[in-house]
């Protein structure tokens, strides 16, 4: 029977490669059309006149099974003829654009120029990629992440790719987050009584999740959300699975451990999933008033992604019952 409302029962916040892995796991343990994933747009930038939205593309490519599984971004079986030709012309090749990935950026840029919203373009691209879940940008307005360093500000991709995350980070700015309008679909879903859980994917808290939380209305809606909010730690046994997460925690003066992640989210999460290797941290996090469960969070293959997604949903049901009994 067709679902009476389009409403999503699970909402996931995701950015980067780790987030997309759990999002994929979620699509294997629930009706994927009832899953909404809010993608980070802080990584978005203009390059060669193209509007590029890496985290939306990573989600789209991953959920359609077409992502390059080794890199985690871009498309599998990619060719690089355009990049080779660009190299010969002395062009800027620090940001690798594969030939088929290029179509996504060209077509998104064309439609944006014609006045279509980033959300509407993403809905249509997902339909064409055969994705049933809703992937939505946190906003249709640009809110680029600016990385603060002792040598001055860096645009996100200049920090992440061009400089290879080498500069020391002293802070972040999410340019325009106070004025930009959060995606109405996101606020509607957060306020929908049919929502069963919110999942904070194991993405980089500073680079991928904070740009989503930077919208005051979004953080407020999360704090007041009736559904349990469950975060999965991106740090396991004092280190991050991939990327600069651990280094950034250290550079900002935080302990590099899952407890620091729980503390970062403490004002709006109900539950926190620790990796089994971090079982010693359970009581510390419980003291923050946050329920904790253990799982294997090292998503090395589809089985682990699916198992972790199942654990997250089961945990959220237990949290919901606990909230009801309060």
* Interacting residues with ligand FO1 (CB under 6 A): 15-17, 43, 54-55, 57-58, 73-74, 95-97, 101, 157, 160-161
Cβ of residue 283: shortest distance to ligand FO1, in angstroms? Answer: 33
- Token digits of residue 67: 């992502």
Residue 290 CA to residue 313 CA, distance in Å, equals 16
Nearer Cβ to ligand FO1 (30/72): 72
Residue 296: name the closest of 9, 21, 11 by CA.
21
- Least Å distance, CB 324 to ligand FO1, is 37
Token code pair at residue 155: 């645009």
Question: Smallest distance from the beta carbon of 301 to ligand FO1, in angstroms?
Answer: 20
User: For residues 31 and 128, which CB has a smaller minimum distance to ligand FO1 in the complex?
Assistant: 128
Helices (H), 46-201: 54-63, 81-88, 99-113, 118-128, 156-157, 184-190
* Closest listed residue to residue 102, CA positions, set 88, 82, 85: 82
Looking at the Cβ atoms of 52 and 285, the one nearer to ligand FO1 is 52
Q: Least distance in Å: CB of 19 to ligand FO1?
A: 9
Is the CB of 197 or the CB of 201 nearer to ligand FO1? Answer: 201
Between 177 and 313, name the residue whose CB sits nearer to ligand FO1.
177
Contact 295, 303 (CB under 8 A): no
Given strand 145-149, what is the order of strands in its sheet? 152-155, 145-149, 171-174
Query: What are residue 263's phi and psi, to 5 degrees?
Result: -65, -35
Task: Give least dist CB 241 to ligand FO1, A.
Answer: 13
Helix (H) / strand (E) containing 229: strand 229-232
Name, in order, each residue with C-beta under 8 angstroms of 212's C-beta and a sequence gap of 6 or more.
13, 15, 38, 40, 138, 218
Q: Both tokens of residue 53?
A: 């939205």
Cβ proximity to ligand FO1: between 6 and 162 the closer is 162
Q: What is the DSSP letter of 279?
A: G
The three-state secondary structure class of 33 is helix
User: Shortest distance, CB of residue 215 to ligand FO1, whole angstroms?
Assistant: 19
57: buried, middle or exposed (CB in 10 Å: 19+, 13-18, 0-12)? buried
Q: Which is nearer to ligand FO1, 42 or 182 (CB)?
A: 42
Shorter beta-carbon distance to ligand FO1: residue 92 or 181? 92
Task: Give least dist CB 144 to ligand FO1, A.
Answer: 12
What is the smallest separation between the CB atom of 71 and ligand FO1, expressed in angstroms? Answer: 7
């Amino acid at each position: 029977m067709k679902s009476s409302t389009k409403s999503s029962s699970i909402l996931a916040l995701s950015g980067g490669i780790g987030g997309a892995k759990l999002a994929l796991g979620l699509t294997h343990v629930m009706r994927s059309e009832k899953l909404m994933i809010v993608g980070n747009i802080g990584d978005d930038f203009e390059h060669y006149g193209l509007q590029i939205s890496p985290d939306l593309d990573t989600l789209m490519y991953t959920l359609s099974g077409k992502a390059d599984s080794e890199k985690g971004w871009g498309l599998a079986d990619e060719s690089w003829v355009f990049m080779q030709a660009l190299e010969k012309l002395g062009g800027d090749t620090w940001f690798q654009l594969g030939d088929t990935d290029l179509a996504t950026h060209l077509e998104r840029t064309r439609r944006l120029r014609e006045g279509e919203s980033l959300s509407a373009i993403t809905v249509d691209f997902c339909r064409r990629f055969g994705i049933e879940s809703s992937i939505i940008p946190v906003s249709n307005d640009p809110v680029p992440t600016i990385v603060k360093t002792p040598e001055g500000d860096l645009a996100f991709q200049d920090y992440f790719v061009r400089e290879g995350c080498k500069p020391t980070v002293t802070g972040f700015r999410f340019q325009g987050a106070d004025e930009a309008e959060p995606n109405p679909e996101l606020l509607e879903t957060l306020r929908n009584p049919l929502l069963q859980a919110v999942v904070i994917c194991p993405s980089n808290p500073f680079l991928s999740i904070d740009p989503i939380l930077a919208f005051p209305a979004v953080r407020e809606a999360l704090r007041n959300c009736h559904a349990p909010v469950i975060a999965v730690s991106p740090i396991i046994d004092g280190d991050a699975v991939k990327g600069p997460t651990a280094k950034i925690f250290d550079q900002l003066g935080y302990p590099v451990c899952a407890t620091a992640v729980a503390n970062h989210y403490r004002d709006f999460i109900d539950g926190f999933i620790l990796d089994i290797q971090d079982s010693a941290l359970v009581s510390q996090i419980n003291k923050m008033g946050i329920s904790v469960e253990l799982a294997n969070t090292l998503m090395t293959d589809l089985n682990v992604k699916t198992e972790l997604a199942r654990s997250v949903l089961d945990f959220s049901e237990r949290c919901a019952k606990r909230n009801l009994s309060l």
